[in-house]
Amino acid sequence: MPRSPGMFSRILCLLLLFSLLACASCRTRITEQGKRQLRSAADLVKQASYDAAADELGKFLEAYPRSDEVGEAHYMIGLCRVHISQPHQAERAFNSALAVADVPILKHYVRLSLANLAFERQDYPTAGEFYGSYFDDLPRREPFHLAYYRYGLVLQAIGQWKQADVQFARILRLFPEADILPSVRKHFGSSHYAIELGRFPSPELASRQRREFADLSPQLHAQAQRGPDGWQYVNLYGEFPDLERAKEALAGIKPRLAQARIVP
C-alpha cells in the first residue's frame, strides 16, 4: 500500500528536526554548552551525519536529564534513526519522547511519527489509533497531505470505507494540486478490496484468462476501465471488506498467478 516505504517520515524529518531544534535552543533550563550541543546536532543533520547527530543528542540527554528539552531530544533522535532506516530504535526514542513531552505540538508530532512507523510495518490498527489521536490538529499544508492519504489507506485496510472517503475528500478539497491526487481518486469511493488477476487490451484475452480460472466463479468478474492508452479489460476476484481477508485469498492465488495483486 505505501507508495514508497519511509517516504513521508523522511520528508518530515528535516522539517520537524530544525523546527524543534530552534524551539529547544530558545528555552531556558540548559546551559550555553547544552545549546551548543543542540546546534551541533543541527549542523550534523545538515551534513546528513545522522548517526553522529543522534550521538550528540544522546550526550545532551546524559548531561541534562531533567531539562525542558528532554522530550525534543528523544524525538530528534527518533527522527535521525528514521532517516537511517533504524525503525526499532526510532520507535523506542519516540516512545521515550511521548512519555515526557510537555508541549502539545511535540506530542502531535510524536504520534504522527509512531503512526508512520506502524503504517510502514503494515500494522494498520495501531497506525489508525495514532493517526486518529491527533488528526484534528494536523496542519493543513504540505507535506501533511500525505498523512491524510495514509490515514485513508489505513481506514480502508481495517474495513472503514466510508470514513476513508472522508479523508480522501479532504485531500481533494484542501490540496487540489497535490501530486498524489491520481492515487487518491483511485481509492476514493471504494467499498471493498479485490484481487486483480490481469489487465488486457481486449475482452477476448480477458475472457481467455477467466476460463483458466473458472474454478473461482462466481466471485470472478471482469471490469472495463478507461485509461490514458485506451480501454483495458480487468479480471477481478472477490469482494473483501478488509485487507487481512484479501491477503488470505491472495496467498491461495499467488502460486498459480505470480502477478496477482490486491486493489481497492
Specify if 53 maps to a domain: yes
Specify if 237 maps to a domain: yes
Same domain, 28 and 123: yes
Q: CA 168 to CA 185: how far, in whole Å?
A: 8
Domain boundary residue, one of 137, 165, 180: 137
Predicted pLDDT at 3: 42
Q: pLDDT tens digits, residue range 105-155? A: 888 889 999 999 999 999 999 999 999 887 777 778 777 888 899 999 999
Predicted pLDDT at 206: 93
Low-confidence ranges of the chain (pLDDT < 70): 1-29
Domain count, the chain: 2
Predicted pLDDT at 5: 40
Tracing cell 488528526 back to the chain, one arrives at 135
Q: Which three cell numbers stand for residue 251?
A: 496467498
Predicted pLDDT at 18: 53
Q: Are the beta carbons of 91 and 78 closer than 8 angstroms?
A: yes
Structural domain range at position 233:
193-263
Predicted pLDDT at 59: 92
Q: Are the beta carbons of 61 and 74 closer than 8 angstroms?
A: yes
**Other Cβ atoms within 10 Å of 28 Cβ, number:** 7
